[in-house]
Amino acid sequence: MPKSLPIFKSRADFKIPTPNSNALPPRQGRAGLNYVTASGNFHQQVVRNQSGMMQELGSVKIKNLPVKRWGRYPYRKRAVLFLLPPPAIGEHVAIRLFLQAFMAQAKPREVALLGADAASDVYAGMPGVDIHPAWMAHDELRRFNVVIDLNDVPARREIEFWPVDMEAALHELFALPQPGITAVAPVPRHGRPLRIGILPLASSPMRTLPAGLILRLANSLANGLDGDGAEVEIVLNVQQNQSRFLRTALDAAAAELHYIEDSRSVADLLALIGEFDYAVYADSGPAHLSKLAGRPGAAIFTSAPSDLLLGRHRNLLPLQAQYSSEYCAAPCGLAKVRQSADGRSGCMGSLGVARADLPDIIESPNQDLVRHLLLETPIPCVAALSAQADTITAAVCADLQRRLL
């Protein structure tokens, strides 16, 4: 069915950078032109909040190609516009990897992306791809032979309850051969202590690594490895409530930890991941970014299945929390903290209810709830990571030892 996109008119020339980006140049707009946006953030924060600069006109219907035709359409030498899903970094990494294969095999004349928003840096440097992070001139739509809305991937309909191997799904829907399994990424010795990163933050306390596990990993990686040791750095983000709470807990437990807290964009994270010899990740965007250059490390999963989210990529060792109860078992597939009809917040295991009894997503948890879930009473599969810290740390250290050249 046609996709409805907000349309607005610029009342003044404007230049707006990609949200949270330092890799892509700002996009410029001209007074008097009509634009469309596929970015909810841009629509709410810029168009509606800058009435003196932009006038909202309504919406435009874009006729997008039905999913059943994605694998049959003749893309060769044609212009293709992809409408992108909201900026979850993992999905956008998968889309970039798919696009590389799509462009090589389908050979379109032109590919443009609309709506990458804060994930736009994922696509930076892709030859032959025109990136529109938030908006596009209305008249530009005419040059495209076909519009494809990647929000229509069927498996995404249940994404709040079970994740998607987006790369594999897109290859199947576009009738492209599935790419092969990647090689295990080695860790070269450079005649210096290894530089190891721990990136414990995820978008939800359901997936962020607990402080006890972080401390165990930091101590073992810094002091192990045949006695050579390593430089271990914990990557946090001062813009997140979770980060501040976690830093406070870690500082109270150990004074000698080393932190990096100035990675504010996807471009910053990509650069930082490339500097680590090895890294340990939560189930998070940075773990998926490591796929782009095949950087070695380990990823620790709680509610989401590691095999599905890592897909064909073997650069990371998958480690899964071990937990089961009469209400759930890890991985349960739940994406976010949910709320029961009587207002309690958590997951099936933490509240002792069935999935059907958690009808509502909590989109913007308050600070008290974040602190509660992160430090005071984490959901059971996250708590299990603390209880299993020795086993997990031993697996990470053994993996790193095996990869050393």
Phi, psi (rounded to 5 degrees) for 114: -125, 125
If asked whether residues 137 and 199 sit together in one domain, one would say no
Pairing verdict, β 360-361 and 338-339:
antiparallel
State which of 122, 142, 173 marks the end of a domain.
173
The DSSP annotation for 301-347 comes to ESSS-HHHHHTT--SEEEEE---B-SS-BS-----S-EE-TTS-EE-
- In this structure, is residue 85 part of a structural domain? yes
Which of 3-17, 141-155, 303-317 shows the lowest per-residue confidence on average (mean pLDDT)? Answer: 3-17
Phi, psi of 279 (to 5 degrees): -145, 150
Most confident of 123-127, 253-257, 359-363: 123-127
Residue 368: inside a domain, yes or no? yes
Asked if residue 185 has pLDDT above 70, the reply is yes
Burial class (CB in 10 A: 0-12, 13-18, 19+), 313: buried
Kindly report the backbone phi and psi dihedral angles of residue 312, in degrees, each rounded to the nearest multiple of 5, phi listed first. -85, 0
pLDDT tens digits, one per residue of 273-294: 999 999 999 999 999 999 999 9
Of the ranges 49-58, 116-125, 258-267, 380-389, which is most confident?
A: 380-389
| pLDDT score recorded for residue 254 | 85
Q: What are phi and psi of 307, to 5 degrees?
A: -65, -35
**Do 125 and 215 reside in the same domain of the chain?**
no
Instruction: Indicate if 294 and 363 belong to the same structural domain.
Output: yes
Residue 384 lies in a domain: yes
**pLDDT tier, 19 (very low <50, low <70, confident <90, very high otherwise):** low
Q: Reply yes or no on whether the pLDDT at 227 is more than 60.
A: no
CATH of the domain at 308: 3.40.50.2000
User: For the chain, what is the domain count?
Assistant: 2
Of 122, 140, 173, the residue at which a domain comes to its end is 173
- Please count the other Cβ atoms lying within 10 Å of the Cβ belonging to residue 296: 22
Is it the case that residue 128 has pLDDT exceeding 70?
yes
Condensed to tens digits (0 to 9), the pLDDT of residues 59-75 reads 999 999 999 999 999 99
Buried/exposed 15-26: b ≥16 CB within 10 Å, e otherwise: ebebbbbebbee
The answer on 254 and 110 residing in a single domain is: no
Does the pLDDT value for residue 401 go beyond 60?
Answer: yes
Q: Within this chain, do residues 167 and 240 fall inside the same structural domain, yes or no?
A: no
Task: Kindly state whether residues 71 and 200 are assigned to the same domain.
Answer: no
CA atoms of 52 and 291, how far apart (whole Å): 43
Query: Is the domain of 248 the same as that of 369?
Result: yes
Averaged pLDDT for residues 91-113? 98
Domain of residue 87, residue span: 3-173
CA distance 21 to 18: 5
At residue 106, does pLDDT exceed 90? yes
Residues 29/15, Cβ–Cβ less than 8 Å: yes
Residue 224 has pLDDT above 90, yes or no: no
* pLDDT for 26: 82
Residue with tokens 């003749």: 74
Residues 148 and 108 in one domain: yes
Domain boundary among 120, 142, 173: 173
239 and 165 in a common domain: no
Residues 153 and 222 grouped into a single domain: no
Q: Which residue has the higher pLDDT, 52 or 198?
A: 198
- Contact criterion met (CB below 8 Å) for 76 and 106: yes
CA 262 to chain centre: 18
Q: Are residues 204 and 159 in the same domain?
A: no
Q: What pLDDT is recorded for position 264?
A: 81
Asked if residue 256 and residue 138 are part of one domain, the reply reads no
Least confident of 18-32, 331-345, 354-368: 18-32
The answer to whether position 311 is within a domain reads yes
Report whether pLDDT(18) > 80: no
